[in-house]
Amino acid sequence: MLFYGTELSSRLMLGTAQYPSPEILADAVRAARAGVVTVSLRRESAGLRAGQAFWSMIRDLGVPVLPNTAGCHTVKDAVTTAHMAREVFETDWIKLEVIGESDTLQPDMFALVEAARILSEEGFKVFPYMTEDLVGAERLLQAGCEVLMPWGAPIGSGKGLNNLFGLRALRAHFPDVPLVVDAGIGLPSHAAQAMELGYDAVLINTAVARAGDPAAMAAAFRLAVEAGQIARRADPMEERDMAVPSTPVLGRAVLA
C-alpha cells in the first residue's frame, strides 16, 4: 500500500484529538501500531508551550504525521493553514478539510476541489476529506490528488458506513486509487467492514479517544483492520437470496 510513493507500516490511521491526556494518547498510538497519526495545526498552536510539548511527544512516537486543516470553512483558510502546517510539521502531506455545513461537518466539495488544485500546484501531497461523490472524486484526481478520503458518516457520529452503495461504487470506479474511510466509524466492526469493501485504510479518532479504555479500543481496531484485510484477500462468498444447505442431501436416507 503506497500513499504518494510512501509505504505505511499499518492500514490504521489514528487521530490525536480529544484524548484525556497525552499519556493516554501515546498508549493508544502504540496499541494501534498506527501507520499514520493526524495532527491539527490548531491543536499544536493552542498554546506555545503546550503545543511544543505535544509536538515533541508526537515526534517521540516515531509515527509518520499527517497534518490536517480541521476547522477550515473557506479555500483561503484551508490553504493558509496548510502552508503553516508544512512549516511547523516539516512535511508536504496535508489532510485537506474544507467544511461546508456546520451540523454534519459535511465537506464543501466545490471549495475542496479548488483548494486541492491550489495546494497540489504548490507541491503539497493532498489527502482530501470528501463525501462519497463519484464526480467530486474525479475532479479531485484531476486537481492532483492521488489519495481520496471519503467519509463513512459525519465526524464523531459513530454511525459507521452510512452509504454502502456509494462506498462500493467509489471503490469500483477507482480500483487503483488509494481510498481511506475517514470519519464516522464507531466500532471495530465498522473498520473491518470498510476493509472488506476493499478500502486501503481507515482513519479513527473519536471512537478510540472517547472509549473507556482508549488503548484497548485502539488494539481492537488494529485487529479489526487486519481481519478485514485478510477477509478481503480471501475472496469472500457472495450473498444469496435463498438458503443453500451446507450438508449434502445426496445419499440421505428417505423414509417412506
Question: What single-letter DSSP state applies at residue 240?
Answer: -
Beta strand segments in 135-207, E: 149-150, 180-182, 201-204
Question: What single-letter DSSP state applies at residue 5?
Answer: T
**Which of 76, 95, 125, 159 does the annotation list as catalytic?**
95
> Does any domain span residue 247?
no
Domain residues for the domain of 90 are 12-234
- Count of domains for the chain: 1
| Residue 158 annotated as part of some ligand binding site | no
- Active-site residue 95, yes or no? yes
Are 185 and 204 in contact by the 8 Å Cβ rule? The answer is: yes
Q: How do beta strands 93-96 and 201-204 pair? A: unpaired
| Residue 162 annotated as part of some ligand binding site | no
> Does any domain span residue 191?
yes
pLDDT class of 243 with cuts at 50, 70, 90: confident
pLDDT at 43: 47
pLDDT at 58: 83
Report the SS3 class of residue 94.
strand
| Residue 184 annotated as part of some ligand binding site | yes
What CATH number corresponds to the domain at position 57? 3.20.20.70
Q: What is the CA radius of gyration of the chain?
A: 20
pTM of the model: 0.89
| Residue 205 annotated as part of some ligand binding site | yes
> Does any domain span residue 111?
yes
Residue type, 95: K
